[in-house]
């Protein structure tokens, strides 16, 4: 892992998703699409090289 901080938008998407418990709810809160939040979380996971959520059928 690098010493650089991750970008703010992926952190914001992660925080909203974790707090709301849903990518769709986070997307509504952030006024973006479900896909945009999902993409931001995947980017953050790649940046940190760690899985942040356990994914299941239609659930995090």
What CATH architecture is 1-60?
Answer: Orthogonal Bundle (1.10)
Query: Phi and psi at residue 27, in whole multiples of 5°?
Result: -60, -45
Q: pTM for the complete prediction?
A: 0.83
pLDDT at site 55: 74
- C-alpha 36/C-alpha 14 separation (Å) is 11
Model confidence pLDDT, tens digit, residues 19-31 = 999 999 999 999 9
Please report, for the chain, the start and end positions of each structural domain, with discontinuous segments joined by +: 1-60
Average pLDDT over residues 31-60: 87
Give the whole-angstrom CA distance, residue 23 versus residue 36: 9
pLDDT for residue 57 is more than 80: no
- Distance (Å) of CA 28 to CA 4, 23, 34, 47: 29, 9, 8, 24
Per-residue pLDDT, 59: 58
């Amino acid at each position: 892992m690098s010493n650089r901080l991750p970008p703010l938008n992926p952190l914001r998407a992660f925080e909203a998703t974790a707090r709301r418990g849903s990518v769709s709810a986070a997307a509504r809160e952030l006024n973006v699409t479900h896909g945009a939040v999902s993409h931001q979380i995947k980017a953050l996971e790649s940046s940190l090289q760690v899985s942040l959520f356990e994914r299941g059928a239609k659930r995090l």
